[in-house]
Amino acid sequence: MPYCPVDAIKVGSGEVQIDQDACVECAACLKSGACRYDALYQPELGWPRILRSQFSDPMVAHPTTAIMGRGTAEMKTNDVTGRFRQGEVGFAVEMGRPGISTGFADVEKVSVALAGTVEFEPLNPVTALIDSDTGRFKDPKVLEERALSAIIECKTTEDRGLEVLRLFKEVSGEIDTVFTLCVIGRCKGYDVPFRRVMEENGFEPRINGKTNVGLGRPLA
């Protein structure tokens, strides 16, 4: 079953089985229609396992955001929300991406490292589960779960941006998975001031990324 993003479907002893610990309930197998015996089905999920589906299946809207996907509208609507203002820098750290998956214990390691230094995005699904002061999950049962990915979104002021990047660097050596890191900055004309700050300090952004072109109305 090559359709499974986390290789949770195994063939053994003449049977095909789903490793329930590895399965992140993303439903990619079910959606693919690849099972010739039509034997796949989505069981009803209780707490906390339902988090796997909410964080992994892009066609399931998370209850806290009502948006299908794993985070918020972040900078995509920043021209009308003003979520990130001039002088602020945003971060989205997507644990488990691309395609490795993450345990929520690793998510907590990063959120604990950030707590007290950043402002967590209030509408984000991970923020809804943690104590923002400590970064710890309010319900320890969450730590037993995993997801294809989970995004921690936060922001700080530009003058503290490098401090946060160094925290990411430190904690990246303590996790048993990967994360991809987004840095969100406001433009000044056709310049991106925080990009230069990063480059001058050894953090080299990739050549491609996302640009909100400021056509939303009314402008924030």
Alpha carbon distance 199, 111 (integer Å): 25
Please identify, using beta-carbon distances, which residue of 133 and 204 lies nearer to other proteins: 204
Cα–Cα distance list, 143 to 121, 191, 198 (Å): 21, 41, 33
Is residue 33 at the binding interface for other proteins, with CB under 8 A as the rule? yes
What's the min distance (Å) between Cβ of 214 and other proteins?
4
Is residue 111 at the binding interface for other proteins, with CB under 8 A as the rule? no
Phi, psi of 215, deg, nearest 5: -95, 0
Three-class DSSP category at 161? helix
Is residue 59 at the binding interface for other proteins, with CB under 8 A as the rule? yes
The one segment of 44-52, 126-134, 154-162, 199-207 that binds other proteins by CB under 8 A? 199-207
Please identify, using beta-carbon distances, which residue of 130 and 152 lies nearer to other proteins: 152
Number of amino acids touching other proteins (CB under 8 A): 81
Is residue 186 at the binding interface for other proteins, with CB under 8 A as the rule? yes
SS (H, E, C) 6-73: CCCEEEECCEEEECCCCCCCCCHHHHHCCCCCCCCCCCCCCCCCHHHHHHHCCCCECCCCCCECCCCC
* CA neighbours closer than 13 Å in the CB half-sphere of residue 122: 1
Structural contact between residues 49 and 143, judged by C-beta atoms closer than 8 angstroms: no
The one segment of 45-53, 113-121, 155-163, 208-216 that binds other proteins by CB under 8 A? 208-216
**Which residue shows structure tokens 């984000």?**
124
Angle CA 41–43–49, to nearest 5 = 130
Is residue 192 at the binding interface for other proteins, with CB under 8 A as the rule? yes
Hey, which residues between 129 and 148 contact other proteins (CB under 8 A)? 148
Please identify, using beta-carbon distances, which residue of 115 and 178 lies nearer to other proteins: 178
Hey, which residues between 163 and 182 contact other proteins (CB under 8 A)? 165, 168-169, 172-173, 175-182
Is residue 48 at the binding interface for other proteins, with CB under 8 A as the rule? no
Is residue 84 at the binding interface for other proteins, with CB under 8 A as the rule? yes
* Cα torsion 193, 74, 46, 8: sign: negative
Is residue 161 at the binding interface for other proteins, with CB under 8 A as the rule? no
Please identify, using beta-carbon distances, which residue of 31 and 138 lies nearer to other proteins: 31
Binding other proteins by CB under 8 A: which of 23, 51, 75, 150? 75
Is residue 12 at the binding interface for other proteins, with CB under 8 A as the rule? no
Alpha carbon distance 171, 109 (integer Å): 7
